[in-house]
Amino acid sequence: MAVNTPQKPRETMEAVAVRFAGDSGDGMQMVGSLFTATSALMGNDLATLPDYPAEVRAPAGSLGGVSGFQVNFSSTDVYTPGDTVNVLVALNPAALKVNLRDLQKRGILIANSDTFNDNGLKLAQYTSNPLEDGSLADYQVQALPITRMTREAVAPTGLKGKDADRCKNFFALGLVYWLFDRDLQPTLDWLTQKFAKLPAVKEANERALKAGYYYGETAEMIQVQYTVQKARLPKGLYRKIGGNEAVALGMAVAAKRAGKTLFYGSYPITPASEILHELARLKNYGVVTFQAEDEIAAMCSVIGAAFGGAFAASGTSGPGLSLKTEALGLAVMLELPCVVVDVQRGGPSTGLPTKTEQGDLYQALFGRHGECPLPVLAPLSPSDCFHATYEAFQLAAKYMTPVIVLSDGYLANGAEPMRVPKVEELPAFDIRHPVDPTGFEPYARNADLARPWALPGTPGLAHRIGGLEKQDVTGDVSYDPENHERMCRLRAEKIAKVAESIPDQEVLGDGAGADLLVVSWGSAYGAVRTAFERARAQGLSVAHLPLRYLNPMPRNLKEIFPRYKKILVAECNLGQLRDVLQARYVRPMEGLNKIQGRPFAAAEVLAGIEKALRKA
């Protein structure tokens, strides 16, 4: 909806990072998502960082209950949600205290002054009111009575008290919409759909949204409006997508493209549960979802579905992957295709259940008993979760093996624009189930060393299946020591052959050699890519290798590493990939490591690059 506003000075900005912060019940994720969707519709490139509290019901106003949503929107390419924020919306003192460190100097602070009372300040552990004591002199502070103005705006609807106060997030959203010249209509349309059966709630939120917008338009204390132009993205149809949503769609599209039913067996666990929620909405597209009683049952159900001929998958996080381990070994022994998505979180144990980490690499590569290799992929961005999951099913079906996809909380909860691929652009599946019993052997192998995917009930193709070692070719139970070694080597060779189906590794920057090569994997890509580009702009001799295939690794890595004087491996753990690379390629590497439940900031990576080059 276009709104005629009095002309205030306008400034054009290339990129802006905004963070909405408040109590977990203040609807910060909702308004952050709406602001993101509107910015995507307006043609900006963007990246988001939702930040959930770990406690389900932390005391209102407490530091542990703060929820935040950050979005970085730009007229140029965006790879991260931003190192610092230009605008911080703090709906209570706790939100201010938790998030102020990330607001850049001279940044805009919009604070709900109604909550900065004695009780609110005490809960946030303030000894004085920061809106009055001069401690915020470095920022552009807009201390507004948001609660009171929201109540006044929604009064005609009859909502009062807490019901009226719930609309204050939309007042804040409307103000930020005006500040950055955003269109209200997509949000108004969303409210109409969301609250179709609650007209009073719909009207109240609309009134609060418009009140915030018009406040920005008329308030003398806000002097400038900002504009962020459209980004120059490749032509195509785009949509906003989050990592978990992308995983779900990747699974469903892969199954549809292959003419298969998708079976998803899962046990709820943060931050992977949303995959189950998304797939449950797709039952009309040949998707079957099963919420198991535990992680072990979930993995076993996936094995049964794969045996029956479905595209089978499960999603979990680190603790759940531990419980799936034995059944994953069974899937390796049975040589059945399936996909397990591990949405990594801070560990060990319950750890930081709502925060991100890349701590499960060792577990994905080595966390099974016996010789039990399987392919491991790590998507680079929220939209790449779609392509990585789709590709995981391709590898699973081609090589008859389980495949692990290592996502994490940062990718799962983050969002970005995704160019929607055309069906014909997606690789096709070549799946053949044997039907001729003549000469059939359940563990005979094709050129890829994959055994046949024989479906139960096919006449003449009955065969033994189970966790005991198989006799080569026949699949009979075998205790022969030489056969066991032969089968272990065959299974390992089959996974090694997966390297033939993945592309050679590309190096960004000086492919012929540079003083420093920065290696990232999975979600560290965005921050490292941004830091790499900043370093190159400064004339630093640096290249970037974003690793997506973790087992097997691209075949040309052994040719790439010797070209560089020094290698720096950036990852949100204590050095798991670095250890693997050093052992495999027998050369020392440095680590740039962060394990704080937060993704890398590009500035942190750039500082690591500069330090490594000084030591070179």
Q: Check whether 440 has a pLDDT greater than 70.
A: yes
What confidence tier does 55 reach under pLDDT thresholds 50, 70, 90? Answer: confident
Q: Distance between CA atoms of 516 and 530, rounded to whole angstroms?
A: 16
Q: Check whether 7 has a pLDDT greater than 90.
A: no
What confidence tier does 224 reach under pLDDT thresholds 50, 70, 90? Answer: confident
DSSP letter at 555?
T
**Number of other CB atoms surrounding residue 586 within 10 Å:** 8
Every domain of the chain and the residues it spans? 10-227, 240-425, 508-615
Phi/psi at 311 (5° precision):
-75, 115
- Superfamily grouping for domain 240-425: Thiamin diphosphate (ThDP)-binding fold, Pyr/PP domains (3.40.50.970)
**What would the mean pLDDT of 110-124 be, rounded to a whole number?**
97
DSSP letter at 432?
-
What confidence tier does 200 reach under pLDDT thresholds 50, 70, 90? Answer: very high
**What would the mean pLDDT of 448-466 be, rounded to a whole number?**
95
**What would the mean pLDDT of 165-186 be, rounded to a whole number?**
97
Residue 111 parent element (H or E)? strand 103-112
Which two structure tokens, joined as six digits, stand for 425? Answer: 């652009």
Q: Distance between CA atoms of 318 and 106, rounded to whole angstroms?
A: 40
Which two structure tokens, joined as six digits, stand for 275? Answer: 């995959």
Residue-level length of the chain: 616
**Amino acid letter, residue 217:** E
What confidence tier does 6 reach under pLDDT thresholds 50, 70, 90? Answer: low
Residues of the chain above pLDDT 70, percent: 99
Q: Check whether 56 has a pLDDT greater than 80.
A: no
Encode pLDDT of 537-593 as tens digits: 999 999 999 999 999 999 999 999 999 999 999 999 999 999 999 999 999 999 999
**Number of other CB atoms surrounding residue 493 within 10 Å:** 12
Per DSSP, the three-state class of 10 is strand
Residue 119 parent element (H or E)? helix 118-123
What's residue 417's pLDDT?
94
**What would the mean pLDDT of 338-367 be, rounded to a whole number?**
97
Residues 330 and 307 sit within 8 Å (Cβ to Cβ): no
Residues 473 and 441 sit within 8 Å (Cβ to Cβ): yes
DSSP output for 194-229: HTTT-HHHHHHHHHHHHHHHHHHHH-TT---EEE-P
**What would the mean pLDDT of 180-197 be, rounded to a whole number?**
96
What confidence tier does 290 reach under pLDDT thresholds 50, 70, 90? Answer: very high
**What would the mean pLDDT of 300-317 be, rounded to a whole number?**
98
Which two structure tokens, joined as six digits, stand for 85? Answer: 């924020």
Q: Which residue, 144, 104, 145, is CA-closest to 18?
A: 104
Which two structure tokens, joined as six digits, stand for 513? Answer: 């050699």
Mean residue pLDDT of the chain comes to 95
Q: Check whether 57 has a pLDDT greater than 90.
A: no
CATH number of 10-227: 3.40.920.10
CATH class of 508-615: alpha beta
221 burial level (CB within 10 Å; 0-12, 13-18, 19+) = exposed
According to the 3-state scheme, what is the secondary structure of 446-493?
CCCCCCCCCCCCCCCCCCCCCCCCECCECCCECCCHHHHHHHHHHHHH
Residue whose entry in the numeric block shows the structure tokens 């900005």: 13
Residues 342 and 316 sit within 8 Å (Cβ to Cβ): yes
Q: Is the whole model's pTM more than 0.85, yes or no?
A: yes
Q: Check whether 178 has a pLDDT greater than 70.
A: yes
Q: Distance between CA atoms of 370 and 256, rounded to whole angstroms?
A: 35
**Amino acid letter, residue 78:** V
CA quadruple 572, 573, 577, 582: dihedral positive or negative? Answer: positive
Residues 276 and 268 sit within 8 Å (Cβ to Cβ): yes
Q: Distance between CA atoms of 532 and 517, rounded to whole angstroms?
A: 10
Residues of the chain above pLDDT 90, percent: 92
CA distances from 422 to 77, 257, 265, 379, 384 (A): 22, 12, 28, 20, 15
Cis ω before 271 (30° cut-off from 0): yes
Q: Distance between CA atoms of 529 and 535, rounded to whole angstroms?
A: 10
What confidence tier does 511 reach under pLDDT thresholds 50, 70, 90? Answer: low
Alpha carbons within 13 A on the beta-carbon side of 269: 31
Same CATH topology for 240-425 and 508-615: the answer is yes
Alpha-carbon Rg of the chain, whole angstroms?
26
171 burial level (CB within 10 Å; 0-12, 13-18, 19+) = buried
Residue 196 CA, chain-centre distance (Å), reads 31
Which two structure tokens, joined as six digits, stand for 124? Answer: 């946030």
Q: Distance between CA atoms of 483 and 320, rounded to whole angstroms?
A: 33
- Exposure string for 135-160, b = 16+ CB within 10 A, e = fewer: ebeebbbbbbebbebbbebbeebebe
**What would the mean pLDDT of 321-344 be, rounded to a whole number?**
98
Q: Which residue, 344, 370, 337, 340, is CA-closest to 498?
A: 337
**The Cα angle at residue 400 between residues 395 and 401, in degrees rounded to 5:** 75
Cis ω before 348 (30° cut-off from 0): yes
What's residue 616's pLDDT?
63
What confidence tier does 52 reach under pLDDT thresholds 50, 70, 90? Answer: confident
DSSP letter at 390?
H
Q: Check whether 280 has a pLDDT greater than 80.
A: yes
What confidence tier does 513 reach under pLDDT thresholds 50, 70, 90? Answer: confident
